Homo-oligomer: A and B are copies of this chain.
């Protein structure tokens, strides 16, 4: 098996270093030898090569079974033009790999409810997956440029039927394997793309007779995520709405340092990354929470390597370490002993033995 690790910027290198150790432990445990190679992305790539996504990185990723990413971006590169900013590297690798479905599971962790901004009674049973379309919409549509010598500007929200169908099917499949409820989010009262999105969801629904489908407008969804987060099972939406709603949902549980994500395409490789960003303010200080990257490794084991059992072991180990009271600084103030990145990593990995 070949896994490419893209450490990136900020706390990316720190958390992927521990995730790599986890991958090595797992490979040994299952008696295999995995090729773990690193490649450049983001600001780190720009600094060394002048581009946030060097061609060698793309080639290496395409030849892998899976890719684990840390994080990209930071104030150091904020002044750069759009096409060489770290984020362009992230958008580029998503597009190059064709990972059109971004899966973000969001759940409450027993013992970590105190950090939530929501009242405890609303958090009961929160357990959802947001499926965000990742390679279309406003992010990539053309034209995307200044007009009339800078007197106007345009971005383009463009989708093909095929792009919508494949991510909607993916979401239905996930709903089928869970609590069988799918919430499709759009702005069908304003956008033509949303009206087509809604039609496609409706036309695919009969293929999944046991899945209940509901349509929510994006503004209503933004409200209901806060008011009744436990009503959601699987949520599917287009790229920009998904960006906003998944970050909104991420903070509800108070544990953004715990949230993994998987970006999947029609074939391997998948791209796995923690939801938290590069957190430049704490980079290099050894306090970053490695658990979102560990849980991203679990998703990698599940979706790209077909190792469901091992994935569950990793998740159980993380849960056990949290329940026994260990906390990184982002989760401190919740009782329990505060530990650094390496120590948290060691605790989970020794739990796995």
Interface residues of A in 242-260 (CB under 8 A from B): 243-248, 250-252, 256
Q: How far is the CA of A140 from the CA of B36 in the complex (A)?
A: 49
Q: Please state if B153 and A156 are interface contacts (CB–CB under 8 Å).
A: no
In the complex, A82→B241 CA distance in Å? 21
Q: Give CA–CA (A251, B157) in the complex, Å.
A: 28
CB distance A226 to B248 under 8 Å? yes
Cβ-based interface call for A60 (8 A) = no
Q: Which residues of B contact A227 (CB under 8 A)?
A: 117, 251
In the complex, are the beta carbons of A193 and B252 less than 8 A apart?
no
Could you say which of B122, B151, B155, B243 contacts A193, with CB atoms under 8 Å apart? B155
Measured in the bound complex, the distance between the Cα atoms of B256 and A227 in whole Å is 12
**Residues of chain B lying within 8 A (CB to CB) of residue A252:** 226
How many A residues, CB 8 Å from partner? 56
A192 at the A/B interface (Cβ < 8 Å)? yes
**Closest residue on chain B to residue A164 by CB atoms:** B153
CA distance A160 to B154 in the complex (A): 9
Interface membership of A139, Cβ < 8 A: yes
Comparing A95-103, A142-150, A283-291, A309-317, the segment that makes contact with chain B is A142-150
Quickly give the copy total for this chain: 2
User: Shortest beta-carbon distance, A1 to chain B, in Å?
Assistant: 33
Binds B, one of A27-35, A204-212, A215-223: A215-223
Q: Is the interface of A mostly helix, strand, loop or mixed?
A: helix
CA distance A155 to B73 in the complex (A): 29
| A window 115-152: CB within 8 A of B | 116-119, 122, 138-139, 141, 144-146, 150-152
* Minimum distance in angstroms from A100 CB to a CB of chain B: 15
A187 at the A/B interface (Cβ < 8 Å)?
yes
**Taking the nearest CB of chain B, how far is it from the CB of A220, in angstroms?**
7
CA distance A162 to B190 in the complex (A): 23
Also in contact, A139 and B192, with CB within 8 A (given A222-B244, A248-B223) = no
> Quick one: which of A39-58 are within 8 Å of B by CB?
none
A154 touches B91 (CB 8 A): no
Is A346 on the interface with B (CB-CB < 8 A)? no
The residue that A153 contacts in the complex, of B91, B152, B158, with Cβ under 8 A, is B158
**Is A104's CB within 8 Å of the partner chain B?**
no
Evaluate whether A244 and B226 lie within 8 angstroms (CB atoms) in the complex, with A153-B192, A154-B156 already known.
Answer: no
Q: Is A159 an interface residue (CB 8 A)?
A: yes
Give the contacting residue for A190; candidates B139, B158, B192, B248; CB below 8 A: B139
Across the interface, name the chain B residue whose C-beta is closest to A196: B153
Q: Are B247 and A223 in contact (CB under 8 A)?
A: yes
- Does A190 lie within 8 Å of B87, measured CB to CB? yes
Instruction: From B146, B161, B248, give the contact of A192 (CB < 8 A).
Output: B146
Question: What's the least CB distance linking A95 to chain B, in Å?
Answer: 12
Q: Which residues of B contact A326 (CB under 8 A)?
A: none
B248 touches A222 (CB 8 A): yes
9 A–B contacts from the bound complex (CB under 8 Å): A150-B161, A151-B160, A154-B158, A156-B156, A156-B157, A219-B247, A226-B251, A226-B252, A248-B248
Chain A contact residues, CB within 8 Å of chain B: 73, 82, 85, 87, 91, 116-119, 122, 138-139, 141, 144-146, 150-162, 187, 189-193, 195-196, 218-220, 222-223, 226-227, 240-241, 243-248, 250-252, 256
